[in-house]
A and B are shown apart, each in its own frame.
Chain A
Amino acid sequence: MEGQKARPIWAVLTGPYALFLVLLLIVPFGSMAVLSLHPYSPTKIALPELTFDNYRQIAALYYVRLFGRTLQLSLVSTVICVVFGYPLAYVLARARPRMQTLGLFLLIMPLMVSTVIRLFGWIVILGRKGLINQALVALGLDPVKLLYTDTAVVIGLVNIFMPFMVLPLMAAIERIPPSLEEAAQNLGANWYQMFAKTIIPLSLPGLVSGCLLVYSLSLSAFVTPALLGSPRARMVGQQIYDEVLVSFNWPIASALALALVLLTAGVMFFALLATRRATQPKGAR
């Protein structure tokens, strides 16, 4: 081993994980794609002939509505993440190192705790006798039904995925020299004008990656709608889970999963296309 140089050391080093990914990522998704083309059989998982029937089935109104709801809830969550995430990203990017360290710890620590636990906390907060309703009653108002509604799902999605919006935005804002802000303000812009004309355009790439992360994570959310949402208003992730583990209709589950992958990839593609167009200099704006 030592005397003669074994040439492709890199292959020995990268090989194991590459093999792992091929076996446990590529092959399972590939076999899922194949499964989605076989008709469902209640006794034998799937029949051998090939068909597009599963895709025709998920074009039914029920599934189209399901995808529509999922897209809508994800969009609302993403927009709220932008509105609340931008100010935090700016403050963190311009904070002194000590404050930034603390701020990042408080942002990343909750992210690492299991989603189930964070959602359990939200159940206690939003419940019929939860913190919010206690406060409303104390103020002399009527309690409201929050838990098991779409509102609760959006609150959950926003809070679970917020760090994925803040971190890329913060990284993008940090790259903008503070002198640009000063220049804009010295030239007479107030802070809000400066933010709109300097910070937002220059941090656009960070905004796009934050939005894509939050949107695609929300599209495939399962635990949040399962714990906080109404059983009658579901998201695609829950449907896939049920088709796999409850009704054992694996061909339909595979078709739904592939449709979700394609939808997510489509959203990403168009978002990236749009930003490329927006960031390309096309005359002064």
Chain B
Amino acid sequence: MSRRRPWLLLPFVGAVYIGLLAPLVVVVAVSFGPSPNFDFPPHGFTLDWFAAFFASSAYVSAFFRVSLVVGLIAGVLATLLGTAAAVGLVRFRFFGREALETFFLTPLLVPEILLGAALYLFYARLRMPASIWTLLWGHLIICTPYVIRSVTAGLVGMDPRLEEAAMSLGANRIQAFFKVTLPLLRSSLLSGAIFAFIISFSDINLALFLSGPQSTSLPVHLFSQIQWQGDPTIAAASTLQIVIIGLLILIVQRVFRLRLMV
């Protein structure tokens, strides 16, 4: 690694990171600034916008009663569905296995805005009113492939002889799975669950179509507040989301290979 690399690469690298991080830095800074006009850099320090966030029933409901609830349920259900699917795909050989594997990853290729529109029209024709459940079913479609991906990676990297050893020592297949395989899959399960939560928690494209008046998710509420020129409460709510997601990604990076997740 002693070869010289041209310095010309660095401005590009710097520009990409500035472009990715500057908006987040600006949002966090604005949320602590006293000016209601989103002045950056802020002149002073205040927690007023966070107080305004917790005082606003619309924000609190969008954050805690919709986004957090849907995200957590989606995380748990996607982990169950995705783990079962990944075990079925990796541990068994059957006709059409590869086609099924491809089918399970298609939600990642379908444009989200079109999936949202298609689901909205579908629910409308079934006369199902928008609720946190309509949102949740939509999120499960796009969250589960992330669990499948991480659990598949975990299973492929595991020695199948461990399970066989347990079985030769008298455990049946189900006992072997729950006592040997599952504990070893801990970190890929955790990463998959966290990613499923994050995908649901930060989704806007599906939620724009599937949120109703009683089930407005945080990103959708922020979207309308930005369009109606709201105040830096937007920034305060955003800062909370950035902190939560940042911490969760740090956990994934600690326990799993982050790059396998995207």
Contact = CB atoms under 8 A, between A and B. Distances in A.
Contact of A106 (B21, B26, B115, B124): B21
Interface string B1-19: 1011110010011011101
Contact of B82 (A12, A17, A113, A240): A17
Interface in B24-58: 24-27, 30, 37-40
Contacts of B137: 24
A114 B219 contact: yes
A45 B81 CA distance: 35
A101 B87 CA distance: 29
A121 B22 contact: yes
Nearest to B137: A24
A25 B141 contact: yes
Interface string A85-113: 11110110010100001001111111111
Nearest to A185: B3
Contacts of A104: 253, 258-259
B246 to A, nearest CB: 6
Contact of B144 (A17, A31, A155, A191): A17
B234 interface: yes
B4 A31 contact: no
Contacts of B106: 21, 25
Contact of B222 (A117, A244, A257): A117
Contacts of A185: 3
A64 B223 CA distance: 28
A112 B249 contact: yes
B246 A109 contact: yes
A159 B19 contact: yes
A106 to B, nearest CB: 6
Contacts of A24: 119, 122, 137-138, 140-141
B121 A124 contact: no
Q: Main secondary structure on chain B at its contact with chain A? A: helix
Contact of B103 (A18, A101, A178): A18
Nearest to A165: B16
Contacts of A122: 23
A47 B202 CA distance: 38
A35 interface: yes
Interface residues of A, number: 94
A10 B23 contact: no
B84 A16 contact: yes
B117 A120 contact: no
Contacts of B246: 109
B24 A261 contact: no
Nearest to B37: A129
B72 interface: no
A125 B24 CA distance: 11
Interface in B71-128: 81-82, 84-85, 87-89, 91-92, 94, 97, 100, 103-104, 106-107, 109-115, 117-122, 124-125
Interface stretch (B162-170, B178-186, B237-245): B237-245
B190 to A, nearest CB: 16
B26 A181 contact: no
Nearest to A96: B1
Contacts of A116: 204, 219, 222-223, 226
Residue of A90, A104, A113 contacting most chain B CB atoms (<10 Å): A113
Interface in A2-36: 2, 8-14, 16-18, 20-21, 24-25, 27-29, 31-32, 35
When A and B form their complex, which 10 residue pairs have the shortest distance between CB atoms, in order from nearest?
Answer: A121-B23, A13-B88, A220-B111, A10-B92, A114-B202, A28-B122, A87-B12, A14-B88, A28-B118, A117-B238
Given A24-B122, A90-B9, A191-B4, 19 more contacts: A14-B85, A14-B89, A17-B148, A29-B114, A88-B12, A112-B249, A114-B204, A117-B23, A117-B24, A118-B23, A125-B22, A129-B39, A185-B3, A226-B223, A240-B113, A244-B117, A244-B121, A253-B117, A254-B121
